[in-house]
Chain A
Amino acid sequence: MPAAAKVRPRADHPRPVAPPPRERPARRLTARLRGPALPYLLILPALALELLIHIVPMAVGIGMSFLELTQFSIRDWTTAPGAGLDNYRLAIDFNAPVGQELLHSFWITCAYTLLSVGLSWLLGTAAAVLTQGPFPGRGLLRTLFLVPYALPVYAAVITWSFLLQRDNGLLNHVIVDQLHLTHDRPFWLLGGNSFFAIVVVSVWRSWPFAFLALTAALQNIPRDLYEAAALDGAGMWQQIRRITLPSLRPVNQVLLLVLFLWTFNDFNTPYVLFGRSAPAEADLISIHIYESSFVTWNFGTGSAMSVLLLLFLLVVTAGYLLATRRRTADA
Chain B
Amino acid sequence: MRRTWTRKLWTAATATALVAGAAACGGGSATSSAGGNGSPKTLTYWASNQGAGLEADKAILTPELKKFEKRTGIKVKLEVVPWSDLLNRILAATTSGQGPDVLNIGNTWSASLQATGALLPFDDKVMERIGGKDRFVANALAAAGAEGRPPAAVPLYSLAYGLYYNKKLFKEAGIDAPPATWDELVADGKKLTGHGRWGLAVEGASYTENVHHAFVLGQQQGARPFTPEGRPAFDSPQQVTAVKDFVDLMAKDRIVNPGNAEYANQQSVTDFARGKAAMLMWQAATSSLKKQGMDAADYGIAPVPLPAKTPPGGKQVTSMVAGINLAVFKNTDNRDGALKFVKFMTGKDEQRILNKTYGSMPPVTDAYGDPAFETPELKTLRKVLADSAAPLPQVPQESQYETLVGNAVKKLFADAASGHPVTESSVKAELTKAKQQMPGGKG
Contact = CB atoms under 8 A, between A and B. Distances in A.
A187 B262 contact: yes
Contacts of A62: none
Interface in B411-443: 411, 414-415, 417-418, 420, 433, 436-439, 442
Taking chain B's interface residues, is the majority helix, strand, or loop, or is none over half, making it mixed? Answer: helix
B117 interface: yes
B400 A297 contact: yes
A74 B436 contact: no
B261 A76 contact: no
B115 A72 contact: yes
A185 B261 CA distance: 13
Interface string A285-314: 000000100111110000000000000000
A298 to B, nearest CB: 7
A97 B437 contact: yes
Interface string B1-38: 00000000010000000000000110111000000000
B417 A75 contact: no
Interface string A267-285: 0000000011101100000
A190 B261 contact: yes
Interface residues of A, number: 34
B414 A98 contact: no
Contacts of B238: none
Interface stretch (B87-95, B135-143, B287-295, B373-381): B87-95
Given A190-B417, A191-B414, A294 B442 contact: no
Nearest to A167: B259
Interface string B389-408: 00000001001100110010
A298 B257 CA distance: 35
Interface string A22-39: 000000000000000000
A210 interface: no
Contact of A72 (B116, B261, B436): B116
B439 to A, nearest CB: 7
A71 B115 contact: yes
A96 B10 CA distance: 53
B401 to A, nearest CB: 10
A74 B95 contact: yes
B399 A297 contact: yes
B94 A74 contact: yes
Contact of A75 (B27, B407, B438): B27
Nearest to B420: A191
B312 to A, nearest CB: 30
Interface in A102-147: none
Nearest to B418: A191
Given A74-B95, A280-B411, A187 B437 contact: no
Contacts of A73: 28
Nearest to B438: A296
B281 to A, nearest CB: 20
A165 interface: yes
Contact of A96 (B27, B84, B207, B436): B436
B91 A74 contact: yes
Contacts of B262: 165-167, 187, 189-190
Highest count of chain B CB atoms <10 Å: which of A101, A165, A166 = A166
A118 B113 CA distance: 45
Contacts of B212: none
Given A71-B396, A280-B411, A296-B403, A187 B27 contact: no
B414 A275 contact: no
Given A187-B262, A280-B411, A295 B112 contact: no
Contacts of A296: 400, 403-404, 437-438
A324 interface: no
B160 interface: no
Interface in B87-105: 88, 91, 94-95, 97
A294 B24 CA distance: 23
Contacts of A165: 259, 262
B439 A298 contact: yes
Interface in A149-205: 165-167, 185, 187, 189-192
B246 to A, nearest CB: 18
B118 interface: yes
B205 interface: yes
Interface in A222-271: none
A79 interface: yes
B257 A295 contact: no
Interface in B113-141: 113, 115-118
Contacts of A277: 207, 403, 407, 410
B264 interface: yes
A294 B418 CA distance: 28
A75 B442 CA distance: 26
Nearest to B96: A75
Nearest to B415: A191
A275 B264 contact: yes
A187 B261 contact: yes
Nearest to A275: B264
A75 B95 contact: yes
A294 B88 contact: yes
B414 A279 contact: yes
Contacts of B414: 187, 190-191, 279
15 contacts: A1-B10, A73-B28, A74-B95, A75-B28, A78-B25, A79-B28, A97-B433, A165-B259, A167-B262, A190-B261, A277-B207, A277-B407, A294-B91, A296-B400, A297-B399
Given A71-B113, A191-B420, 12 more contacts: A1-B10, A71-B399, A73-B28, A75-B116, A79-B28, A191-B418, A277-B403, A294-B91, A295-B400, A296-B437, A297-B112, A298-B439
Interface of B: 10, 24-25, 27-29, 84, 88, 91, 94-95, 97, 112-113, 115-118, 205, 207, 257-259, 261-262, 264, 396, 399-400, 403-404, 407, 410-411, 414-415, 417-418, 420, 433, 436-439, 442
Closest 9 CB pairs between A and B?
A76-B28, A191-B418, A167-B259, A190-B414, A295-B403, A97-B436, A166-B259, A296-B400, A97-B433
